[in-house]
Amino acid sequence: MTAAPMDPQESFNLITKNLQEVLNPQIIRNVLEVEKRPLKLYWGTAPTGRPHCGYFVPMTKLADFLKAGCHVTVLLADLHAFLDNMKAPLEVVNYRAKYYEFAIKAILKSINVPIEKLKFVVGSSYQLSAEYTMDVFRLSNMVSQNDAKRAGADVVKQVANPLLSGLVYPLMQALDEQFLDCDAQFGGVDQRKIFVLAEENLPSLGYKKRAHLMNPMVPGLAQGGKMSASDPNSKIDLLEEPKQVKKKINSAYCSPGIIEDNGLLAFIQYVVRPIQELKFGSEHFEFFINRPDKFGGPITYTSFEQLQADFKDQKLSPPDLKTGVSDAIIELLEPIRKEFASNPEFQEAQEKGYPVAQPEKVKKAKKPKNKGTRYPGSQNQNGKSPTEDGDDAVEKVAEKIKEAVLG
């Protein structure tokens, strides 16, 4: 039995829920209220470093989009990964794209999100076509070097002497909206400059303007900065061992009473709470902290706002918050680790996409044995045998005696 279509306003509310910013929301409303059809949107990810716990944030939004009846495409942007300062050769990127697909599906299944209606597209499947290539040329004839560099500033890795590929990256992301036939693109707020580039330039190619949906960026575990796949200290991998999870969380930045840029509180707000709402309904929140008896004993929070307030007022200490977050992450990752352990293709994608560098074996140079100088054929530091060296000394002494006698 098919569920009844969602009311347009209800659908719009679900689509824009918990977002930091929406550009051109009228486009979304027009699709839902006037055209009366499902919204078509895409979310892209470049398969570079291993996916981490920060990926739960966009996954909860994909769940909202699917629940709102949207047609959702996940773009595995393999060529973008290749262009981002050559982080990996193409043959390795291909396996990373497979790894990302397995990881994304495992995350969604672990939080009870049906993935049957989710469409996965690999970028190189259409980005190498003549039509797409011609559009890259056309767009590069409109966008200045400075505009392209500025658009990718928060996304493409910045170096002192940037490659030309970093300028092509944002142009391709803009064109993906047209070639994936979407009404909206979803991403983090760090993508905003690329979204604006697309809005300003796609109409010049004869293509329609799209809406853009932006998630807030979740702070990393280190002080300052976002959770990044390329910074191992800022993130926790999806397959991280429980022991390693506790170690990383224990070393995370968490100053007493400071709630700004606190990656642990942000994780609870943007990952734990939305997942619980997906599983148990809106407004549900339950966060258990196994606090030692000498500090008040175990406690369960039923409101994130109360938890945050207690931390700010220093009624909840950083070690206790870290204990709760460690336990929550270990619980979230358990089904993903089980999926990996039971899926040989998932394992192969990791092995070939993220090969472990083997240390080179260096043979130790044999030290020459010191046999001394009193054996036939041995040489002193001057390259002479002891006998030759002795003869020279005798001659010098004789010369000095001769000089002394003759005056």
Query: CA-to-CA distance for 339 and 110, rounded, in angstroms?
Result: 9
User: Can you spell out the DSSP letters for 352-366?
Assistant: HHSPPPPPPP-PPPP
Looking up tokens 């920060």, which residue turns up?
54
Confidence category of residue 21, pLDDT binned at 50, 70, 90: very high
The structure tokens listed for 397 are 């002494």
Domains belonging to the chain, first-starting first, are 8-215 (3.40.50.620), 242-353 (1.10.240.10)
- Going by C-beta distance under 8 Å and a sequence separation of 6 or more, which residues neighbour residue 197? 143, 147, 148, 151, 170, 171, 174
Residue 224's pLDDT is what? Answer: 59
> Which pLDDT score is estimated for 1?
41
How many angstroms separate the first and last alpha carbons of the chain?
A: 128
pLDDT digits (tens, 9 = 90+) for 257-270: 999 989 999 999 99
Residue 300 phi/psi, 5-degree rounding, is -120, 125
Query: Which range scores top for mean pLDDT: 206-215, 244-253, 281-290, 353-362?
Result: 206-215
**pTM, 2 dp:** 0.81
Residue 387 has pLDDT above 80, yes or no: no
Contacts of 313 (CB under 8 A, 6+ apart): 257
**pLDDT at 303 exceeding the cut of 70:** yes
User: Residue 156: pLDDT above 70?
Assistant: yes
What pLDDT digit, counting tens, does each position of 122-152 carry?
999 999 999 999 999 999 999 999 999 999 8
Average pLDDT of 20-24?
A: 96
Q: Determine the average pLDDT of the residues in 230-251.
A: 85
Residue 251 has pLDDT above 60, yes or no: yes
* Residue 70 exposed, middle or buried by CB count within 10 Å (0-12, 13-18, 19+): buried
Q: What is the mean pLDDT of residues 324-328?
A: 96
Band (166; pLDDT cuts 50, 70, 90): confident
The more confidently predicted of residues 386 and 154 is 154
Higher-confidence position of 49 and 384: 49
DSSP character string of 142-169 = TS-HHHHHHHTTTTSPP-SS--THHHHH
Mean pLDDT of the chain: 87
Q: Look at the chain and count its residues.
A: 407
73 bridge partner residues? 42, 119
